[in-house]
C-alpha cells in the first residue's frame, strides 16, 4: 500500500468519479483505476461500487477512506513539523482590513510579510463573508498578487503555499 493509492481512493470518493479524480490528480483515468484496483487487491475487499454515474464507497471503502484521511492528515502534520524545525515560516492566518486604514496599512504589511516570510502566499478577497468562513477547504487555493494601486477595499488572507 502506498500514499498514491490512498490519494486516488480519496479523490474518487470526493469527486464521485474516476474521470474527475484523474483531473484533480492531474493524471489519466487509467492510473487512478489501477491505483484503486491495486489497493482493493491488497486489502482483499471491494472499496468502490462503480456504475455509469461514477463510483460510491462500499462499507469497506468508507472505513478505508476514513483511515486514508487520517493518514493524509498525519503526513501533512509531519511536513509541517519538519518545516518548523527547519525554521521556515508556516501556518495559517487571516487578517481583515477595511476602510481607509487599508490604503496605508496593507502595502506596508504585504511588503513586511513578503520580506520576513517569503514562503507564505498572500490571498486577497473583497467579500467579507469569505473572511469569516471556518471551512478551510472552501477557501481559494490560488495565489493572487495584491494590487497596491487599488487597496481601498482590500481584505487580506494569509495562507501557506500549497505543495
pTM: 0.56
- Which residues, including other chains, have CB under 8 Å from residue 30's CB and lie 6 or more apart? none
- Helix, strand, coil % (nearest 5) of the chain? 55, 15, 30
Radius of gyration of the chain (CA): 20
Residues 11 and 77 in one domain: yes
Q: What does the block give as the cell for 10?
A: 480519496
Distance CA 73, CA 98 (A): 34
- Alpha helices (H) in 44-90, listed in sequence order: 59-85
What average pLDDT does range 39-51 have in this prediction? 96
Residue 97 has what pLDDT?
62
As a whole number, the mean pLDDT across the chain is 75
CATH code for the domain in which residue 8 is found: 1.10.10.10
Domain termination site, one of 31, 56, 84: 84
Q: Is the pLDDT of residue 44 over 90?
A: yes
Domain termination site, one of 51, 84, 117: 84
Range of the domain at 8: 3-84
Residue 151 has what pLDDT?
40
Amino acid at each position: 500500500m502506498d500514499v498514491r493509492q490512498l490519494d486516488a481512493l480519496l479523490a474518487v470518493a470526493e469527486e464521485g468519479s474516476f474521470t474527475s479524480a484523474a483531473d484533480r490528480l492531474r493524471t489519466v483515468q487509467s492510473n487512478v483505476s489501477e491505483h484503486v484496483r491495486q489497493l482493493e487487491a491488497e486489502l482483499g475487499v471491494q472499496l468502490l461500487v462503480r456504475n455509469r454515474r461514477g463510483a460510491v464507497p462500499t462499507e469497506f471503502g468508507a472505513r478505508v477512506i476514513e483511515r486514508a484521511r487520517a493518514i493524509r492528515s498525519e503526513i501533512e502534520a509531519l511536513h509541517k513539523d519538519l518545516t518548523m524545525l527547519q525554521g521556515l515560516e508556516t501556518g495559517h492566518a487571516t487578517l481583515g482590513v477595511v476602510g481607509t486604514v487599508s490604503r496605508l496599512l496593507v502595502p506596508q504589511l504585504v511588503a513586511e510579510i513578503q520580506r520576513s516570510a517569503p514562503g507564505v502566499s498572500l490571498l486577497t478577497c473583497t467579500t467579507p463573508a469569505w473572511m469569516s468562513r471556518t471551512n478551510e477547504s472552501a477557501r481559494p487555493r490560488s495565489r493572487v498578487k495584491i494590487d497596491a494601486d487599488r487597496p481601498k477595499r482590500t481584505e487580506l488572507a494569509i495562507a501557506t503555499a500549497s505543495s
